Amino acid sequence: MAKYLLLKHYRGAPKGVNDVPMEQWTPDEVTAHLKYMQDFAKRLEATGEFVDGQALAPEGTFVRYDGEGRPPITDGPFAETKDLIAGWMTIDVDSYQRAVELAGELSAAPGAGGKPIHEWLELRPFLAEPPTVTE
C-alpha cells in the first residue's frame, strides 16, 4: 500500500469545466458537493483506502521561529495555503494507477447547477522511508 495526498486547490491549477466559485453556489449546491465528498470517503473507508480528509477554513497565518519568545506572524506577502488549498484527503492504495482513478472520480464532485466541477486535483505521494546507510 502507498499513501497519497489529494489536494483540492482554490487556485493555481488549470480552471475546471464548471468553474463557478463555491461562494456563488446555492446552499443546496454546497450541500450536494459536501455529500458527494462524504459519500466518497465512506466508500473508501469500506475498502480500507481512506486515511483522513479535511476541508480547510479560509483563515491562516505564517509563523516562524525568530529567536526565543519572538515568533513573527504575517499575513503575506507570500502565496499562502489559505489562498491556494481548499482541503485534502489522504488515501492508502495498492498502486499509483488506483490513486489516479480515485482522484479522477473525486474531481467529478458536483458544483454549480449540480454539474460535475471537473476540478484539477494535485496527487502527491507520501515520501517513502529514507534509505538506511550501512557501513
Domain boundaries, the chain: 2-56+83-125
More confident residue, 75 or 128: 128
Distances (CA, A) of 58 to 10, 41, 55, 116: 10, 22, 10, 23
Query: What angle, rounded to 10 degrees, do the helices at 96-106 and 27-47 form?
Result: 160
* Confidence (pTM): 0.75
* pLDDT 10s digits, 27-64: 999 999 999 999 999 999 999 999 999 888 777 776 66
CATH of 2-56+83-125, one of 3.30.70.1060, 3.40.50.300, 3.20.20.70, 3.20.10.10: 3.30.70.1060
